[in-house]
Amino acid sequence: MTVATGVGVIIVNPQGQILLGKRCGPHAPFWSIPGGHLDKGETFEQCAQREITEETGLQIAPPTFIGISNNLQTWRAEGKHTVSICMLVQHPGGEAQLKEPEKCAEWRWCSPDDLPEPHFEASRMAIHLWLNQRVYLPVL
């Protein structure tokens, strides 16, 4: 088994809210920041920009690295082990569109202090790292 690398992006609007998607398909019914898997030869920034455009239609600036998450709860529950690179960017303006309706049922601006449930582990950890100005927290 290989360990997959994901990139998740916290997009913050001027009101301090973050963009969250209600996932469908294999990741239903979890809420999550946008993102996806790193392709071979991509930088983290390129992956983030590609995934955001594919999922929402938004054109973001190169995001800033804020942390890394080792997603062991997901591995224990599903047998899929991912490591997530957590990124941050300011909202570029415009409305998020449902570009991949088979993967995401809706986009919503939410307070980072009041996350909708159930929430995807990698997304919850990225938001926690950002709010607490941490780069990494060990998983016990």
| Average pLDDT of the residues in 51-65 | 98
Alpha-carbon distance of 33 to 78, in angstroms, equals: 20
Entry field: residues in the chain: 140
Contact predicate 85/5, CB 8 Å: yes
What does the pLDDT look like over 10-48, one tens digit per residue? Answer: 999 999 999 999 999 777 899 999 999 999 999 999 999
What does the pLDDT look like over 97-114, one tens digit per residue? Answer: 999 999 999 999 999 999
The pLDDT assigned to 26 comes to: 72
The two tokens of residue 106 are 């809706």
Q: Is a pLDDT exceeding 90 seen at residue 1?
A: no
Q: Is a pLDDT exceeding 70 seen at residue 140?
A: no
Alpha-carbon distance of 62 to 65, in angstroms, equals: 10
* Residue-range domains of the chain with CATH: 4-131 (3.90.79.10)
| Average pLDDT of the residues in 121-133 | 97
The pLDDT assigned to 44 comes to: 98
Contact predicate 20/113, CB 8 Å: no
Q: Is 27 exposed, middle or buried (0-12, 13-18, 19+ CB in 10 A)?
A: middle
Q: Is a pLDDT exceeding 70 seen at residue 67?
A: yes
User: How much is the pTM?
Assistant: 0.95
Of 15, 3, 30, 6, nearest in space to 106 by CA? 30
